Amino acid sequence: MDLENTSSRRKGGFRACSFIFVLGALENMGYIANMASMVIYFWFVMHFELATAATTLTNFMGSVMLLSLVGGFIADTYLNRFYTTLAFGALEVVGLAMVTIQAYSKDLQPEACNKAICISGGKAIMFIVSLILLALGAGGSRGAIPALGGDQFDSKEQKAGALASYYNWNLLCSTTGAIVGVTLIVWVSMNKAWYWGFLISTIATSIGYAVLGLGKPFFRIQPPGSSPLVKIAQVIVVAIRNRNLPVSNSTDRLYEIDDAARDPSEERIAHSKQFRFLDKAAILPKDTAPQAWKVCTVTQVEEVKVLIRMMPIIFSTIIMNTCMAQLQTFSVQQGIFMDAHLGSKTIPAPSIPVIPLIFLTILIPLYEFVAVPFARKITGRPSGITQLQRVGVGLVLGIISMTVAGVIEVYRKDEATKNPPKIISIFWLSFQYGIFGIADMFTVVGLMEFFYQEAPSGMRSLSTSFTWLSLAFGYFLSTIFVNVINSITKSITPSKQGWLHGNDLNANNLQLFYWFLAVLSTINFGVYIYFASWYKYKHDAPESSETETEPADSRYNVEMIQNYR
């Protein structure tokens, strides 16, 4: 037993996380490069119309993030987080290989036409299947990786700020890989051949997952537990069944198993007074044995309450991710109409995100080594500020970014239309990219840490996937906004043209779309402030009078507890 404990202590920590950092850098190298340039690939190679290319990319990215829930669910329930990452990683590599083959073969590419989408038949099938596999693989692995990294730190290390540091360094490594992607890979794709860029992405991603596999001896691997969806369903069903039972202000009547009989990997959660109706699921009817679907523990009920409290936080970060989608679509298309020269060199438009990425490589260490220690002295928190405060900072910066983006577009279009053929430098886009890059640093890391720490131990993969869920909804909402705004403005403008119609940005009103998102983001921030103030952290506000009460399970023997399970 001592040997097992010693072996366990040797595992985990930042040494194990280093394998995740390598994967993050190599996989993100290809993923970010593709996300930055694929809208151009859809536009020029697949011959999609400008708006169709943008919505195709945002739908794809939304699917990637939405499918992270599948990976998180499988990681928590059937496979562990390590094997789930590798399994979905294999699908991602296959998807990238198929995209590479189609980009290589002219016979698999469509001819130009006058339609919004020119691809059809077998070519369309290969195109769709490759994107499905790529989305499923990239999304599924993202559903497991954040929680796999968090598992490498015990509760003491997490409270000491190790978890926040892990997510900061993981973002730094991913950002470093992204810099290589949006410079080297994008340049190769647009100046040599598209298939060479996709091939480099495929090789880098394959190496990344191979490195993760080699790190298996160093990982703390948490075994999968019971289905989180089943546990949620049990609470809802039992609460409805017990709807006529009175809810007492005391926890004496609420069922809970003994700590000695609890799975060591599961933490006990103190009772809270929110959503009191769900407490009825923890009431054990008279003369009834404690069994699943008959009664739920207080901890199980509180797990559902935690998830409910998280929902408003998820939904109030969606608009910011809708704004992010514009930087990966319309902002890239703006760059096509701008001067991309740096001296005698030409900078590909999809490479402009390298500017905020470089900012991030400088700001993340400064935040970790300067800002956090300074804030820690003031707040007494290991992470400096709370996770929700960090997200709030990101939301404010997102508003500023969209406002600036509108101003830059006005300037770009004025110069292009009033003083042709004068066009402004592509580096003007660095303002909106730079501000939003910093916003992303605050928001994504804040959400990752928030969802991991607040989630029940058996739902952490699924919970950290909520960050990607917010991204998914943001991308899908972007598609909806583009289509709806185009339809509405087409019917009310004197020219009978939508804000985002056609392929000529100089004839569009992209700046109005940016400002529309800025106004919407401001309203959304007010909603976020309300729900962030309403949220009670799981460990910050225990009910001392209730947690000191002897749990009602002391009257149940081990046999009854086993029957319950």
Q: What is the pLDDT of residue 528?
A: 93
C-alpha closest to that of 167 among 310, 17, 315: 17
Q: Residue 115: phi, psi to the nearest 5?
A: -105, 165
Tokens of 246: 């009175």
Detail the DSSP E strand segments found in 246-352.
341-342, 345-346
pLDDT digits 0-9 by tens, 166-222: 888 888 899 899 899 988 998 898 888 899 999 999 999 999 999 999 999 999 888
C-alpha closest to that of 538 among 473, 441, 460: 460
The residue ranges of the chain whose pLDDT is under 50 are 1-8, 541-565
252 C-beta neighbours (distance < 10 Å), count: 11
3-state secondary structure of 296: coil
- CB 461 within 8 Å of CB 75: yes
Residue with tokens 């490069």: 33
- CB 468 within 8 Å of CB 65: yes
pLDDT digits 0-9 by tens, 272-331: 778 888 888 888 877 777 777 888 888 888 888 888 888 888 888 899 888 887 776 777
Q: What is the pLDDT of residue 202?
A: 95
Q: What is the pLDDT of residue 262?
A: 60
3-state secondary structure of 271: coil
Span 2-223+316-534 CATH architecture:
Up-down Bundle (1.20)
C-alpha closest to that of 521 among 419, 395, 432: 395
Distance (Å, whole) CA 160 – CA 126: 49
Q: What is the pLDDT of residue 116?
A: 66
3-state secondary structure of 255: coil
Angle between helices 354-366 and 162-180 (to 10 degrees): 150
DSSP string, 395-448: HHHHHHHHHHHHHHHHHHHHHHHHSTT---BGGGGHHHHHHHHHHHHHHHHHHH
- Percent of all residues in the chain with a pLDDT value above 90, rounded to a whole number: 21
Distance (Å, whole) CA 361 – CA 12: 25
Rg (CA), the chain: 25
Burial of residue 230 (number of CB atoms within 10 Å: 0-12, 13-18, 19+)? exposed
Distance (Å, whole) CA 40 – CA 329: 9
- CB 168 within 8 Å of CB 445: yes
Considering the entire predicted model, what is its pTM? 0.75
Tokens of 311: 């929902």
Residues of the chain with CATH 1.20.1250.20: 2-223+316-534
Distance (Å, whole) CA 267 – CA 245: 28
Contacts of 338 (CB under 8 A, 6+ apart): 349, 412, 423, 424, 425, 426, 428, 429
